[in-house]
Chain A
């Protein structure tokens, strides 16, 4: 009980209070110094979190492969891609620190393979995925963007003005589109956006306080 619940709650409380008070305290004060130390620890934990993520990803996918899940082919591709990329990346990194001047090909071999995967596989695939958005946005807009009510009509007209204001052809059609679009974004949109941001920030503060004070314990794995 102590190790599973009380200790994590204590760590969370102390870290949370230090981070919160440290943020608002002046530079050079003791609490601010501990706050900066805490930030360093966070960087180290973040690096370890990546390892945890990789471990979890492998566990989930190996389980699916073992259970002969209907998506197992994708799991195999994911695991192989992960291991191959990691191998070239890690070995390239190791050779980088222990580079033998007499044998620079060893470094080039691993570094180049990793760059090759990044440059000729990952970049084109990511770009392709993002490019598909143009097609799906067009199809979705055709099916869903209807002036069914007054609010929807206002939204539609506003969207048209903003779209025309943000493309060169819009300015060629009428020079007024760009300033109106800019006004919509920097005035009308800003008011709504700011309200959402402030609301979300207050909500996040409340949620964080609940976690720091131990009122919210679901992150420990319980109900």
Chain B
């Protein structure tokens, strides 16, 4: 028994890495499609999206890089799809240089799916959505947007003059925005730009999404009412996708956005968490044995 605990005590970390890798591969090959139940956070977020009416302008701020994409892209996907369903005017921008480029890929995927699901509806660039691109300056951009958005963003991400885009005809300043959806991968985004300035100073409602690891710092803003809704990591993103329903044009049945790919990732997340917990339990049993019986 002692030798087992001795081996566990000095376990090579590569063995742990191997266990994680095998678990990820097996789960991806043989997914379990575990049940995903819709939590309070996801349903509150859906409610916030449902409050957006036809023709109302919203900002979706892509404040993340490729590292945050696995958790934040499903959120962006769900938000954009629902906003197109609500016939909102979607203004995309970003305080992270990579954000608007990542947005382009996501929005293309959403449009392909949306137009397939809704024959007859066409999502047009410049009319239904626009990508204003990245802007340096953080909170000062928001302060300036409160006066004149078109002074700060003179062109869109493709260099087209913003005044030529029909979507911007009725959007002049921040108060013309119904809600800001901030997807944040760390600093320079929801927590330090949109919440203290757009919400607190200019009273624009904010909803957001963040990675699981940064979620605890956002709960205080939910509780105080400063944040309308929060998607706190991949699990709630998957829940939101499940909650967004549409009528399948082929089967004429109600379907949801939760794809098998997203479901697989949720399974992998579950299994990796369980393995980490098993390793922690083993390490603690080993520690307690050593403490009780000495070396």
Q: Quick one: given A142-B279, A156-B284, A193-B219, are A50 and B136 in contact (CB under 8 Å)? A: yes
B280, A142: Cβ atoms closer than 8 Å: yes
Give B44 Cβ to nearest chain A Cβ, in Å.
12
B66, A127: Cβ atoms closer than 8 Å: yes
In the bound complex, how far is the Cα of B215 from the Cα of A190, in angstroms?
11
In the bound complex, how far is the Cα of B216 from the Cα of A166, in angstroms?
12
A: interface residue count bin = 35 or more
From the candidates A39, A50, A138, name the one contacting B275 in the complex (CB within 8 A): A138
Tally of contact residues, B, Cβ under 8 A: 68
A169, B274: Cβ atoms closer than 8 Å: yes
Determine the chain A residues whose CB is within 8 A of the CB of B223 once the complex forms: 186, 190
Determine the chain B residues whose CB is within 8 A of the CB of A186 once the complex forms: 219, 222-223
From the candidates A46, A156, A190, name the one contacting B136 in the complex (CB within 8 A): A46
Among B34-42, B45-53, B83-91, B109-117, the stretch that binds chain A is B34-42
- Of all chain B residues, which has the CB nearest A160? B277
A205 on the B face (CB < 8 A): no
A137, B140: Cβ atoms closer than 8 Å: no
In the bound complex, how far is the Cα of B272 from the Cα of A185, in angstroms?
21
In the bound complex, how far is the Cα of B69 from the Cα of A124, in angstroms?
11
- Of all chain A residues, which has the CB nearest B152? A43
Interface residues of A (CB under 8 A from B): 23, 35-36, 39-40, 42-43, 46-47, 50, 96-97, 115, 118, 122-124, 126-127, 129-130, 134-135, 137-139, 141-143, 145-148, 156, 160, 163-164, 166-172, 175, 178, 182, 185-186, 189-190, 193-194, 197
Can you list 20 A-B contacts (CB < 8 A)? A43-B136, A47-B136, A122-B98, A126-B67, A127-B66, A127-B67, A127-B69, A130-B70, A142-B280, A142-B282, A143-B13, A145-B280, A146-B283, A148-B287, A169-B34, A170-B273, A172-B35, A189-B219, A194-B220, A197-B220
